[in-house]
């Protein structure tokens, strides 16, 4: 596949010049410069032409990055939980916060909002009950009367009452907060030694949050607050993957999301809006999947603009692969109905397994984008298809590191993909779970960790433009 014919011409030309250079064994410096130029122009943003102001800003930016790279404790090489405060204090990060970042296209509904807000705002509301699970987690429910017992959970206690009898409420708040996120001040590698352990804690935290936000008045405030956090971080548009709480009518949930989005956009006219990707957990069986796909098609008809499409969530390594659901996922195209897919695919290190085929299968099902695509470098055919069709990867650097797919972000596949301008966007997946917020921390990791000293303001521009495209 001839992707860069003109570049090959340059390379060939240079090689013949190199021969003319003659008998000297030292490579021709001009040839070398030309090759460096070619490589630089191939990266994400490598073709962006900068005006004078941008060039000035760029040299400031690169100076700041140089300082960052010289640090002994280089943040992208460290676990994000340990690096977060270093990043937060970095002048480069402050600048990245101000940069318009375009759209955040891979964000989950239950992990959009800082847990500090959940604790300070939501858990102080009346009628909130809490119970303690067998697996050292907690569950919540808002109820006007004593709620029914949950399996594997202690009897419910009214949180208001518990607070009144607790000597140190700061300690109580902190322990609640620790249940709502996987971020920790302790050593993450000790606390979460394996992918199994961290995924277990991650799903527990989701369930704890779910009880807080599936109460209608909280739900609307929560989502508004989520939009606010991204907007404040200079994100102009969002696509939210939503589980849509079971015990509410899903039409109601979508309508509520839509109304809150409208309200937020009216309050912040420079915000562009948001759309929803309806999701289901990949642990369900075929029968459930068939009815969920039916429901998704129905919702897509009811909310043709607001609902972007459909996806499966949950740990790929443990859930069922896409191919397992091939009949159910073919329903829309069998009926000539439109249900765009936004599949998570390739969020795995299990090379060669059934799950590892998700990338190719997602593309066979005409996915509009690929969630993560972490395994793409090991699938040259999938990679070529994604490039040719412009199916962008939604790369979530911090998520992949925290969930133990890669330690040092300089070794993340995104670094190689950015070097060749593969279609990709940067996103934050579950910022509240990882102790980050908005999009800037992930932009930092991509800009400093993936891009090293070579990525520049053109890269930032192109990443934002990719997300809008």
Ligand X SMILES: *[C@@H]1O[C@H](CO)[C@@H](O)[C@H](O)[C@H]1NC(C)=O
**Is 136 a residue that touches ligand X (CB under 6 A)?**
yes
Q: How far is the CB of 201 from ligand X (least distance, A)?
A: 7
Cβ at position 344, least distance to Zn ion in Å: 6
Residue 136: contacted member of ligand X, Zn ion, none (CB under 5 to 8 Å, by partner type) = ligand X
Q: Which is nearer to ligand X, 93 or 140 (CB)?
A: 140
47 contacts ligand X (rule: CB under 6 A): no
Of 239, 347, 394, 462, catalytic: 347
Which of the ranges 47-55, 86-94, 229-237, 283-291 carries the binding residues for ligand X, by CB under 6 A?
283-291
Among ligand X, Zn ion, none, partner that 429 touches (CB below 5 to 8 angstroms by kind): Zn ion
Q: Would residue 373 be called left, alpha or beta, if left means φ above 0 and alpha means ψ between -120 and 50 degrees? A: left
CB of 433 to Zn ion, least distance (A): 10
Of residues 106, 108, 344, 372, which has the active-site annotation? 372
Q: How far is the CB of 297 from ligand X (least distance, A)?
A: 13
Is 294 a residue that touches ligand X (CB under 6 A)?
no
CA-based R_g, the chain, Å: 24
Closer CB to Zn ion, residue 141 or residue 359?
Answer: 359
186 vs 207: CA distance, rounded Å:
22
CB of 186 to ligand X, least distance (A): 10
Interface residues for ligand X in 395-454 (CB under 6 A)? none
Nearest residue to 371 (alpha-carbon basis) of 312, 412, 321: 312
Tell which residue, 354, 368, 255, has the closest CA to residue 311: 368
- Look at residue 179 and give the partner it binds from ligand X, Zn ion, none, a contact being a CB closer than 5 to 8 Å depending on partner kind: ligand X
Residue (429 or 442) nearer to Zn ion, CB: 429
Mask for 183-222, x = binds ligand X (CB under 6 A): --------------------------------------x-
Selection from 351, 450, 349, 360 nearest residue 397 by Cα: 450
Q: How far apart are CA 157 and CA 123, in angstroms?
A: 13
The closest of 360, 358, 359, 340 to 293, measured between CA atoms, is: 340
**Catalytic residue flag (residue 372):** yes
Give the DSSP H or E segment for 314: none
Tell me the C-alpha distance between 93 and 125, whole Å.
Answer: 35
| Region 59-118 residues binding ligand X, contact defined as CB under 6 A | none
Cβ proximity of 45 and 459 under 8 Å: yes
Q: Cβ distance 239 to 277 under 8 Å?
A: yes
DSSP 444-466: HIIIIIITTTT--HHHHHHHHHH
Q: Which of 333, 351, 416, 469 binds ligand X (CB under 6 A)?
A: 333
| 25 contacts ligand X (rule: CB under 6 A) | no
Query: DSSP letters of 112-132?
Result: SS-HHHIIIIITTSTTEEEEE
Contact 426, 400 (CB under 8 A): no
Q: Which of ligand X, Zn ion, none is residue 94 near (CB under 5 to 8 Å by kind)?
A: none
Distance of CA 105 to the CA centre of its chain: 7
347 assigned to active site:
yes
Which of Zn ion, ligand X, none interacts with 87 (beta carbon under 5 to 8 A by kind)?
A: none
Q: What's the rounded Cα separation, in Å, for the pair 184 and 75?
A: 17
Q: Which residue is nearest to Zn ion (CB)?
A: 429
The span from the CA of 179 to the CA of 173, in Å, is 10
Contact region with ligand X (CB under 6 A), list: 78-86, 172-180, 303-311, 436-444 = 172-180
Residue 276: enclosing H or E segment and its boundaries? Answer: strand 273-281
Using CB under 6 A, pick the residue from 49, 170, 304, 336 that binds ligand X: 170
> Contact residues for Zn ion (CB under 5 A)?
429
Residue 287 within binding range of ligand X, rule CB under 6 A: yes
Annotated catalytic residues are 347, 372
Residues making contact with ligand X (CB under 6 A): 121, 124, 132, 136, 138, 168, 170-171, 175-176, 178-179, 221, 225, 285, 287-288, 330, 333, 365-366
């Amino acid at each position: 596949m001839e992707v860069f014919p003109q570049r090959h011409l340059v390379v060939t030309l240079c090689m013949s010049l190199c021969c003319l250079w003659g008998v000297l064994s030292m490579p021709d410096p001009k040839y070398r410069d030309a090759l460096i130029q070619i490589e630089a122009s191939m990266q994400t943003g490598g073709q962006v032409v900068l005006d004078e102001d941008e060039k000035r800003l760029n040299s400031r930016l690169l100076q700041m990055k140089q300082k960052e790279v010289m640090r002994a404790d280089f943040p992208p090489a460290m676990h994000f939980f340990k690096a977060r405060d270093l990043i937060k204090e970095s002048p480069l990060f402050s600048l990245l916060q101000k940069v318009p970042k375009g759209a955040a296209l891979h964000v989950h509904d239950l992990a959009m909002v800082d847990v500090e807000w959940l604790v300070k705002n939501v858990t102080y509301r009346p009628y909130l009950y809490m119970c303690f699970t067998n697996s050292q987690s907690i569950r919540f429910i808002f109820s006007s009367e004593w709620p029914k017992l949950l399996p594997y959970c202690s009897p419910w206690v009214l949180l208001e009452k518990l607070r009144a009898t607790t000597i140190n409420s700061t300690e109580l708040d902190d322990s609640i907060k620790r249940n709502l996120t996987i971020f920790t001040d302790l050593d993450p590698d000790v606390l979460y030694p394996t992918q199994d352990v961290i995924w277990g804690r991650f799903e527990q935290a989701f369930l704890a949050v779910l009880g807080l936000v599936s109460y209608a008045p909280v739900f609307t405030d929560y989502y508004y607050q989520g939009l606010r956090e991204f907007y404040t971080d200079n994100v102009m548009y969002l696509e939210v993957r939503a589980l849509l709480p079971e015990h509410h009518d899903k039409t109601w949930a979508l309508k509520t999301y839509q109304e809150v989005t409208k309200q937020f956009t009216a309050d912040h006219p420079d915000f562009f809006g948001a759309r929803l990707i309806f999701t289901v957990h990949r642990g369900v069986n075929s029968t459930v999947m068939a009815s969920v796909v039916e429901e998704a098609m129905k919702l897509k008809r009811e909310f043709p603009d607001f609902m972007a499409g459909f996806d499966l969530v949950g740990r790929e390594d443990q859930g069922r692969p896409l191919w397992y659901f091939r009949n159910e996922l073919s329903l829309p195209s069998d009926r000539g109905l439109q249900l765009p897919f936004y599949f998570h695919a390739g969020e795995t290190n299990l090379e060669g397994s059934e799950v590892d085929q998700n990338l190719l299968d997602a593309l066979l099902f005409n996915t509009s984008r690929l969630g993560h695509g972490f395994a793409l470098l090991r699938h040259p055919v999938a990679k070529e298809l994604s490039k040719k069709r412009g199916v962008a990867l939604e790369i979530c650097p911090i998520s992949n590191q925290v969930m133990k797919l890669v330690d040092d972000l300089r070794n993340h596949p995104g670094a190689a993909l950015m070097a060749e301008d593969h279609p990709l966007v940067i996103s934050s997946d579950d910022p509240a779970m990882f102790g980050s917020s908005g999009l800037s921390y992930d932009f930092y990791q991509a800009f400093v960790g993936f891009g090293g000293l070579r990525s520049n303001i053109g890269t930032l521009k192109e990443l934002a433009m990719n997300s809008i495209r």
